[in-house]
Amino acid sequence: MTAQGVASQTGSGPEPPNTPLNQGRPHSARMYDYFLGGKDNYVADREAAAKVLTLWPGVMIAARTNRAWMHRAIRFLAAERGIRQFLDIGTGIPTRPNLHEVAQGIAPESRVVYVDNDPIVLAHAQALLKSRPEGRTAYVHGDVTEPEAILASPDLTEVLDLSQPVALSLVSLLHFVPDEWGPYDLVQRLVDALAPGSFLVLSHITPDFDPEATQKTVQVYHSGGIQGKIRTRDEVERFFTGLELVEPGLEVPHRWRADLAETDSHVETGDVTDEEVSFWAGVAQKS
C-alpha cells in the first residue's frame, strides 16, 4: 500500500500545516518513499515497511511499477489528448520526475496543482515542485475527504481554470479511504466539479491476485494507525461510473499501454507479475 493526501493516520480530518511530523509512528507517505528507494523516512516507517516486505515481497516492485504507470498515463494525456491542466491529490513526498516534470516535458505550458495533507510533503514541495517558466505549479495543503475545500482554494483557482478540461490524478490514494468515509461520493464530487473533457487517473491496490499477502499488509498499516480498504476489480471500476475508460480499460499497471514504457528508463522493474504488483489502474474521460 502506498500514498498520501488523505486523513490516513488515526483521526478523521486533515492535519494542519504546523502539525509535528510524528516521527515515532509510521506514515504512508514516508513508507511509500522508502519503497521507492527514497531517504525521507524515519525508523518507524522503515520498521513498518520491513514488516510489509516480509508479507508482500513484491511491494517495492508494486510501488515502482505504479509510479511508472503514472508517468505513462500523464504522458498519454499530455501528448495524445492535449491536456494542459493537472490536479494531483495525494502527491506524497516528491520523487523525480514529478508529475509536472512529466507533463511539462511534453507541453511546457502545463499547469499542475499538487494536494497533500502531510506537513513533510509541504516542506519538500516548496523546494522541488518548481514549474518551468512557461507553465505553473502550486501546492495546496488539503485532504481528499474535503473536496470542496480543495477546489475552492485560492492557490488552486489561481493556477487551474476549472471551466476547461483537467486531469484529476488519484494515484495509489483511495485504498487509504475506508468505506465509512464515503470514497465513491468523494470521487464523484471531485469529478462533478470538472469540465467535460476532463480525465480521471486512478490506481488502487487489490486483493485479486495475492489475497493473503495484501490482506496481511493491510493489518500492518492498521496496526500503525493507518486506515484504509483494499478493493476488488469491480469495486475499483465503480470509481469510474459515468466516465468512459480509455483503452485498454481497467488493467494491471504494467500492461496499461506498455508500448509507452520505453521512455521510463528511470524506473527499473524488469518483468513483473500480477501478484507482485496487485494493483488496478485506469484512465477515463468525462463526457
Return d(Cα 60, Cα 75) in angstroms, integer.
Answer: 23
**pLDDT for position 136:** 94
**pLDDT for position 128:** 66
Task: Decide: 237 and 197 in contact? Cβ < 8 Å.
Answer: no
**pLDDT for position 15:** 36
Task: Decide: 236 and 245 in contact? Cβ < 8 Å.
Answer: no
Task: Decide: 119 and 15 in contact? Cβ < 8 Å.
Answer: yes
**pLDDT for position 129:** 73
Task: Give pLDDT < 50 ranges for the chain.
Answer: 1-20, 264-269
Return d(Cα 104, Cα 106) in angstroms, integer.
Answer: 5
**pLDDT for position 23:** 64
**pLDDT for position 225:** 79
* C-alpha cell at position 113: 496543482
Cα–Cα distances in Å, from 60 out to 18, 22, 102? 30, 24, 22
**pLDDT for position 262:** 56
List, in order, residues 6 or more apart from 58 with CB less than 8 Å away. Answer: 210, 213, 272, 273, 275, 276, 277, 278
